[in-house]
Amino acid sequence: MSETVAHDAKASEVVEQYLETIYNMGMEGDVVIGARLAEKFKVAPPTVTETLKRMVRDGYIEMDSRRQVTLTPKGVEHAEGVLRRHRLTERFLVDMLGMQWHQVHEEACRLEHYISGAVEARVVASLGLPTTCPHGNPIPGSVPDARNYLKDQGAIRLLLAEPGQPMRLLLVSEVVEDEEAIIHYLHDRGIVPGTELSLVSGPPEPDESDAVLALADGSQLTIPARVAYALWVVPV
């Protein structure tokens, strides 16, 4: 994180949450529009429009004629600063405080806005330069190009994988990390980054139906298709 970002702490927590989400959706190849953000944050569309207008005014985002949202270089820099603190905080809570990986996202969402550069540097040093959060998401500044991490790793969504092809879980989408039920469900079934699994069958879209997975020990398990969509895997 650069000094300018450390001192440009005027963005409100809400704006920082928007920046993180827009960044993550972009990283996962999703089109970002107001309606999707309203759904994500469970707020009324006019509220989202208000915040987006403020973010355009402050130079964090741009909106094109189809109202698609993209981050400006300033927006990317600020989003990466917040996400870096978020993911390092999760790492700290798991590695140093012994919390479980399904418990830390919420805590990190609160703490990420208040961590100074000095604390961040100490955390990085004591953790031995981690490159990902406990859910597998890249720590900006600790990997060559966090925005293109999925592409660089050759990752695809599990739901879109070839049935039967052995895959390894790279990361759980940060877009669903804050859906506690999903994270809990995966944790309870031992599905963590590094787990080997394959798709048995699933719908072509993340709809209301289920997908069936096979684990390396031969057991099978049914998960909602939208969860399989949120899991990014790489071929074994």
Which one, 78 or 135, has the nearer CB to Zn ion? 135
Which one, 82 or 158, has the nearer CB to Zn ion? 82
Residue 111 contacts Zn ion per CB under 5 A: no
Q: Report the DSSP beta bridge partners of residue 199.
A: 213
Is residue 170 within 8 Å of 155, Cβ to Cβ?
yes
Residue 91 contacts Zn ion per CB under 5 A: no
Half-sphere exposure of 76 (CA within 13 A, CB side): 12
Residue 90 contacts Zn ion per CB under 5 A: yes
Residue 133 contacts Zn ion per CB under 5 A: yes
Residue 105 contacts Zn ion per CB under 5 A: yes
Query: What span, in angstroms and rounded, lies between the C-alpha atoms of 79 and 11?
Result: 11
Count of residues near Zn ion by CB under 5 A: 6
Task: Give the residue, chosen from 40, 78, 102, 135, that forms a contact with Zn ion under the rule CB under 5 A.
Answer: 135
At its nearest, how many Å lie between Zn ion and the CB of residue 20? 9
Using CA atoms, how far residue 139 sits from 23, 92, 165, in Å, is 13, 13, 28
At its nearest, how many Å lie between Zn ion and the CB of residue 104? 7
At its nearest, how many Å lie between Zn ion and the CB of residue 101? 8
224 membership: H or E segment, kind and range: strand 220-224
What part of residues 171-210 is at the interface with Zn ion (CB under 5 A)?
177
SS3 labels along 23-41: HHHHHCCCCCCHHHHHHHH
At its nearest, how many Å lie between Zn ion and the CB of residue 166? 25
Residues that bind Zn ion (CB under 5 A): 90, 105, 133, 135, 137, 177
